[in-house]
Structure 1
Amino acid sequence: MSSTVKFHGKAPLPMRDGVTPSFLWLPEGQWPDMLTFMASNYPAVTAAQWRERMERGDVVDGQGAPLMPDARYKQGMRIWYYRELEHETPIPFHEEILYQDEHIVVADKPHFLPTIPTGRFLKETLLVRLRQKLGIEELVPIHRLDRETAGVVIFSSNLDSRGAYQSLFQKRLVQKEYEALAGPLPGREFPFVYRSRMVEGDKFFTMKEEPGEPNSETMIDVIAQRGEHVLYRLWPHTGRQHQLRVHLSSLGIPIVNDVFYPVALPCKQDDVSSPLKLLARAIGFPDPLTGEWRYFESRQQL
């Protein structure tokens, strides 16, 4: 129910422990009071929990006035609240800050850590951890990595320059370099370019290939032999969801420890001893403010 619309302005609730407040516009409908609405629309949170949060002032209107449980429901009003999780499994890996200036923060994300809050993850995310560490409420990622993928992620810390950095990705001026561990491809000449048409898969959050005009492209090269596997260097020229994982799987060499491709395995607890062998090794781009070439490289190894 929380709004996906970006908010540009000052929220009436402050950042708390790295978590910024969420907001929503109250939809058309009839509810006798705010408690009934919140409990009806957020079934994962009990009415008793909502009552406790409202009584401590953690649900407010657009001016910051607390909304008590018996407050009248007003269609079209914007309300603010904190998302909370009763239980969140700690992720036993730590991020590293590679670079920081007045405009951007560059972080080295570990495997298993989501980039942003989603689903069962809130404080155990790269964004919230960095906000806790740096105290920068305006911090937001300008691109993302899958939770299972490790490596370099760039964040904007300055609203005034954010659009300039975001436009680099929109204009495809950013060069991304990945490494992946997978099986050998005998008979291939390297480097080579793989193209395909990718669409949403039959299972939630997966992708698949289908005949038609290609909309994804990856250049693939070999770095070194690693026993029965090969360490590959990958340059994605497009940014489709799970693109590298789908492309290598389609070539018959799924990335080591990939639980989605070629077959999505049943959902289970993370096996932190077997991370996906995919690393966002480096990222480079012309700085939109200075024209200088910027290059950042992960310190992790597969």
Structure 2
Amino acid sequence: MVKASLEIIAENDHFIVINKPPGLLSIPDREGKEISLKEILQQKYDQIFTVHRLDRETSGIIVFAKDPETHKFLSQAFEERTVEKYYQGIVVGTLPEKQKTIDAPIAENTVKRGVMIIHQRGKHAVTDYEVLEDFGKFSLVQFRIHTGRTHQIRVHMQYVGHPLVCDEVYGDGIPVKISSFKRNYKLSKNEEEEKPILSRIGLHAQRLRFTDMEGNAYDLTAEMPKDMRALLQQLRKNA
């Protein structure tokens, strides 16, 4: 991962907004063996402060502050839910309700560390969803999360029986291949085995709306990465 390949969506003296590629950690993990987005930014800027984070496999829009005041202001905005957060995801199956609000508390599994479950002892968690396209075997869904719980969209979609594609923890984790939805699929001559189109969780942080310390309003979007776009293109073709 090199600095030059990072896609900057917006930047000023106070913060930077990046379209995070899938597979890159937002911030260093406990082991510290892998480079994170924060560390890449730290190589370029003197100070970088974490405002929020995305799961490693989730792509999309993420904000880092450049000074303590902005960090405090933006962190508070996220906590107080004045920031609007929109995601797009590819889920398994056809959802019976095309629009719905999922309001179900999320807690950490006491047996499996790092895995979240729906439980009454959990924290309040609210997700709105709207089906954008229905392909039968899969659906493209837009989410707006009103709370910022760990794995919130993934847990809520498992809860309603339509987990995100390729989710090993909350779904079947099976990579998506064209042969899984295209009849009479044949390998090309130089292929020994079929390569998956998507092999990571199909979730992308698509849009953020927030106001900065000076009262300027931002409405920023991040383009979906190639792997998810390729899958959608194939699904549309075969719909």
User: What TM bracket, shorter-length normalisation?
Assistant: 0.7 to 0.9
CA RMSD of aligned residues (A): 2.5
Question: 2-side partners of 1:111 and 1:222: how far apart?
Answer: 23
Instruction: Specify the SS of the correspondent of 2:153.
Output: helix
In the TM superposition, residue 97 of structure 1 has moved relative to its aligned partner by 1.3
Structure 2 CA distance for partners of 1:264 and 1:198, relative to 1, 3 Å:
farther
Report whether the alignment pairs 1:250 with 2:159: yes
SS at match of 1:166: helix
SS of the residue corresponding to residue 167 of structure 1 reads: helix
Following superposition, the deviation at residue 96 of structure 1 comes to: 1.3
Which of the numbers 207, 228, 231 marks the counterpart of 2:116? 207
Q: Which residue identity is paired with 2:224?
A: Q
Counterpart in the other structure of 2:104? 196
Aligned to 1:112: 23
Q: State whether structure 2 residue 42 is matched by structure 1 residue 131.
A: yes
Deviation per residue, 1:110-137 (Å, 9 max, x gap): 11111111134455211111222xx212
Q: Give the Cα–Cα distance (whole angstroms) in 2 for the partners of residues 159 and 186 of structure 1.
A: 43
Residue aligned with 1:220, SS: strand
Q: Summarize deviations over 1:26-58 as a string: whole Å, max 9, x none.
A: xxxxxxxxxxxxxxxxxxxxxxxxxxxxxxxxx
* Worse-superposed segment, 216-225 or 118-127: 118-127
Amino acid at match of 2:58: T
Match of 1:237?
Answer: 146
Q: Percent identity?
A: 26
- Number of residue pairs the alignment of both structures matches: 202
In the alignment, which of 220, 224, 230 is matched to residue 296 of structure 1? 220
Please tell me whether the aligned partners of residues 209 and 218 of structure 2 are also in contact (alpha carbons under 8 angstroms).
yes
Which residue does 1:220 correspond to in 2? 129
The CA deviation at 1:292 is 2.2
TM value normalised by structure 2: 0.76
Matches within 5 A, 1:265-284: 274-284=199-209
Q: What letter matches 2:164 in structure 1?
A: I
Equivalent residue, structure 2, for 1:260: 169
The partner residue of 2:60 within 136, 148, 151 is: 151
Deviation of 1:162 (Å): 2.3
Match of 1:96 among 1, 4, 7: 7
Q: What secondary structure is seen at the aligned counterpart in 2 of 1:130?
A: helix
Equivalent pair of 2:50/2:71 in contact (CA under 8 Å): no
Q: Partners of 1:153 and 1:176 in 2: how far apart?
A: 10
User: Is contact 2:129–2:141 with CA below 8 Å preserved after alignment?
Assistant: yes
Counterparts of 2:17 and 2:57 in 1: how far apart (Å)? Answer: 18
Q: Distance in 2 between matches of 1:263 and 1:137?
A: 42
What residue ranges of structure 2 are gaps of 5+ in the alignment?
175-195, 229-239
Aligned mate of 2:83, from 151, 174, 177: 174
Measure how far apart 1:158 and its partner are. 1.7
Runs of 5+ unmatched residues, structure 1: 1-89, 266-270
Q: Distance in 1 between matches of 2:75 and 2:95?
A: 39
Structure (1/2) with the larger helix percentage: 2
Q: Deviations for 1:227-260, whole angstroms, at most 9, x for unmatched residues?
A: 6210000011111101100000111111000011
The whole-number CA distance in structure 1 between the counterparts of 2:126 and 2:13 is: 34
Compute the displacement of 1:95 (Å): 3.2
Give the C-alpha shift of residue 186 in structure 1: 4.4
**Structure having greater relative contact order (Cα 8 Å, sep ≥ 6):** 2
Q: Output the CA distance in 2 between the equivalents of 1:169 and 1:124.
A: 25
CA deviation after TM superposition for structure 1 residue 160, in Å: 3.5
* CA distance, structure 2, for counterparts of residue 126 and residue 206 of structure 1: 23
User: TM-score, normalising length from structure 1?
Assistant: 0.61
Contact kept, 8 Å, 2:94 with 2:137, in 1: the verdict is no
Look up the equivalent residue of 1:98 and give its one-letter code. Answer: I
Q: Which moved more, 1:196-205 or 1:272-281?
A: 272-281
